[in-house]
Amino acid sequence: MKKTAIVALSIALAACGSDSNAIAKPQEPAATEAPKAADDNAASAEAAKAFPNDQDKISYAIGASIAQGFKNSRPDLEAMGFEFKNDMLVKGYKDALGSSLVISEDALKATFQEFRTELDAKRAEKAEAEKKERENAKAENENKGKEFLASNGKKDGVKTLESGLQYKVIQEGKGAKPSDSDTVKVHYKGTLIDGKQFDSSYDRGQPASFAVNRVIKGWTEALQLMAEGAKWELYIPHNLAYGDHGTPTIPPASTLVFEVELLEVVKKAEPAKAADAKKAKSS
C-alpha cells in the first residue's frame, strides 16, 4: 500500500497546480547576478552542518520541493474557497510514507476525485466570470473610444481618414516618406484615452526601429503619410490597434493615442543578386 499511497499523494498535489510538474521542481530564485565561488562554498558548508550525509540532504530537498509546489498553488486554491490545514497536510504526508493511512485507499481515491470535480467546477465558474468581465470591459472601452473619436474629430487640426484613423500634425517633416517595406527609426509615446501611459521610447532613451508593415495597422497607415522629421499625434481606433483582445498593458478594445516622431527612413536593402545584375549592366 505504501507505493500506491505515495503515488496518490503526488497526484493530489499535482492536481492543485496548472503545471503537473510543479511539485518536482524547486522554486526558482529571482534573477540575480551570477553567484560567486565564495557563496557556493558558504552554501556547501551550511549544508554540511545541517545534513550528516547526502541521503539526508536529498531527502530534505525532495520534501521541500513538494511543499513549495503546493505552496505556490495554495493562494489560487484558497481564493476559490478551499481551506487547507497544515497539520493534516503533514499528517497525510507522513502516513503515506509510513503506510499507516487512517482511511482506505478506495476512500482516498474517492476523496481525490471529489476534490478534482469540485476544483474543475470552481475553475469553470471563475473562467466564466472572467470572460463576462472581459466582455463588459470590451463593450465599455469600445463605446468610450467611439465617443472620444467623435469629439476629437471636431477639434482644430485633427484630420480623420477613411479608415477611421485620426491624426494631428505637430511638426511637418521635409525628408523622405517610407513605403510599407521600409524600416523606420522613431521616437514615440503611447497612452490610453484617459492619459495613462503604457509605453515610451523617450523614457527608455532609445529610439525604436522596425519595418513599417510589421506594426499595428494604424501605425502602418500613418507612417507612410509622414516625412522624415515629422511629428504627429495619432488617434487610433481599437480595430486599427490591438483589437478586442488588447495586451497585458492595454485593455481590450482600447482606442489609443500616440505621439510619433519619424526620425529616419531606412530603405530596404536591395537583394544581392539584383544589385549584382544592376552593377554588371552598368559596367
pLDDT tens, residue by residue, 161-207: 999 999 999 999 999 999 999 999 999 999 999 999 999 999 999 99
CB neighbour list of residue 118: distance below 8 Å, 6 or more residues apart: none
What's the pLDDT band for 64 if we cut at 50, 70, 90? confident
CA distance 117 to 3: 24
pTM over 0.85: no
Mean of the per-residue pLDDT values for the chain? Answer: 82
- 188 tagged catalytic: yes
Query: Is domain 156-266 given the CATH code 3.40.630.10 in the classification?
Result: no
pLDDT tens, residue by residue, 92-148: 888 888 878 888 888 888 988 998 899 899 889 999 999 999 899 999 999 999 999
Q: Which of 70, 167, 235, 258 is catalytic?
A: 258
Higher pLDDT, 32 or 147: 147
Average pLDDT over residues 31-60: 67
In order of 40, 202, 220, the CA distances from 179 in angstroms are: 56, 24, 9
pLDDT tens, residue by residue, 210-250: 999 999 999 999 999 999 999 999 999 999 999 998 999 99
Q: Which of 216, 244, 250, 276 is catalytic?
A: 216
What's the pLDDT band for 82 if we cut at 50, 70, 90? confident
In terms of Cα–Cα distance, which of 266, 15, 9, 232 is closest to 117?
15
In terms of Cα–Cα distance, which of 232, 176, 185, 226 is closest to 208?
185
- 258 tagged catalytic: yes
Radius of gyration, CA atoms only, the chain:
30
- Whole-number pLDDT of residue 146: 97
In terms of Cα–Cα distance, which of 217, 216, 210 is closest to 178?
210
- 242 tagged catalytic: yes
User: Does position 29 have pLDDT exceeding 50, yes or no?
Assistant: no
Q: Which of 76, 95, 199, 244 is catalytic?
A: 199
- Whole-number pLDDT of residue 23: 27
For 155, phi and psi rounded to 5 degrees? Answer: -80, 150
- Strand 166-171 to 183-192 pairing: unpaired
- 216 tagged catalytic: yes
User: What are the residue ranges spanned by the domains of the chain?
Assistant: 2-102, 156-266
Higher pLDDT, 210 or 52: 210
- 40 tagged catalytic: no
Q: Which of 70, 148, 167, 188 is catalytic?
A: 188
| Longest pairwise C-alpha distance within the chain | 93
- Whole-number pLDDT of residue 12: 46
Q: Which of 182, 198, 210, 244 is catalytic?
A: 198
CA distance 257 to 172: 19
- 194 tagged catalytic: no
Q: Which of 70, 167, 235, 242 is catalytic?
A: 242
